[in-house]
Amino acid sequence: GAVVSQHPSRVICKSGTSVKIECRSLDFQATTMFWYRQFPKKSLMLMATSNEGSKATYEQGVEKDKFLINHASLTLSTLTVTSAHPEDSSFYICSASVVGHNEKLFFGSGTQLSVL
Amino acid sequence: AQSVTQPDIHITVSEGASLELRCNYSYGATPYLFWYVQSPGQGLQLLLKYFSGDTLVQGIKGFEAEFKRSQSSFNLRKPSVHWSDAAEYFCAVVAGMNYGGATNKLIFGTGTLLAVQP
């Protein structure tokens, strides 16, 4: 099946620094990538939808200047957490849709972000 | 608005026993429903999905789920649980499936944590 690679799997950073998370579709072209955030013992909450070549669409309550999303190609989307703070610590997961087959969604393995 | 409810936060079953995880959805039209499994610190793995057709859907790892429109439910079942099935399970519904565009956002339930006793 299709593979979505998310990197890094775990990152620890100091408060005030920025962290970039990459999401790559390895063997297919992804029209759309989605970024989710999961709090401990909570469900996944959609943060934003990113379409290749256009601006991301953010869900209500998600700060677009805080969570920068870039989807420069059909195989790569990045999420940058800018000026990270401890409250940004969370598990972030991306998913990708296959071009022409939007019913197929593939998830990355997630990134555990810890901000000290 | 679409929503998904998983009434059971935590379930413990004995190895070899049968399993049923509940999922109820709220959606005006025919829903597209999914079950995912998440092991600790890992991403999500799709177990099965329902789009249309046969209401009993077979998935991987011996799981199945039945779509019941009258009950707005999509419960996940497995006849005999293995210790390796211990994980968190998420039911999800697609909000606004669009084959031509890109609006297939997933709305997740809060998850059910499954523990398996020896």
pLDDT, tens digit (0-9, with 9 covering 90-100), for B21-30: 999 998 777 7
Q: Give percent of chain B with pLDDT exceeding 70.
A: 90
Predicted pLDDT of residue B102:
40
Q: Is B43 on the interface with A (CB under 8 A)?
A: yes
Q: Which range has the top average pLDDT, A14-18, A73-77, B33-37, B46-50?
A: A14-18
**In sequence order, what E strands does B30-109 have?**
33-38, 44-50, 56-58, 64-68, 73-78, 87-95, 105-108
CA distance B62 to B74: 16
| B105 with A34: Cβ contact below 8 A | yes
Residue contact B90–A44, C-beta within 8 A: yes
Nearest to A76 by CA among A98, A96, A103, A54: A96
Q: What is the pLDDT of residue A66?
A: 96
- Kindly report the nearest CA distance between residue A32 and chain B, in angstroms: 6
What's the pLDDT score for residue B101? 39
Position A16 scores a pLDDT of 96
Residue range A92-101, pLDDT digits in tens: 999 888 766 6
Q: Is B10 on the interface with A (CB under 8 A)?
A: no
**Contact assignment for A43 to B41 by CB distance below 8 Å:** no
| Chain A interface, best mutation among B8, B90, B108, B110, by max A CB count within 10 A | B108
| Model pLDDT, residue A90 | 92
Question: Which positions of chain A have pLDDT values less than 50?
Answer: none
User: In this complex, do A97 and B102 lie within 8 Å of one another by their Cβ atoms?
Assistant: yes
Does residue B110 or residue B99 have the better pLDDT?
B110
Computed over every residue of chain A, the mean pLDDT equals: 88
Of the candidates A31, A103, A110, which has its C-beta nearest B97's C-beta? A103
Helix (H/G/I), strand (E/B), else coil: B2? coil
Contact B109 A43 (CB under 8 A): yes
pLDDT given at position A86? 95
Q: What pLDDT does residue B96 have?
A: 57
Distance from CA of residue B88 to its chain's centroid?
Answer: 10
| Lowest-pLDDT range of A58-62, B7-11, B47-51 | B47-51
Distance CA B57, CA A51 (A): 31
Q: What is the pLDDT of residue A52?
A: 82
Per-residue pLDDT, averaged over B7-16, amounts to 96
- pLDDT reading at B53 higher than 80: yes
- Write out pLDDT tens, residues B67-105: 999 999 999 999 999 999 999 999 998 765 553 334 457
Is residue B11 within 8 angstroms of chain A, CB to CB? no
* Chain A residues within 8 Å of chain B (Cβ atoms): 6, 31-32, 34, 42-46, 49, 51, 91, 93, 95, 97, 102-103, 105-110, 112
What tokens were used for B69? 């429109």
In this predicted structure, the answer to whether residue B65 has a pLDDT above a threshold of 90 is yes
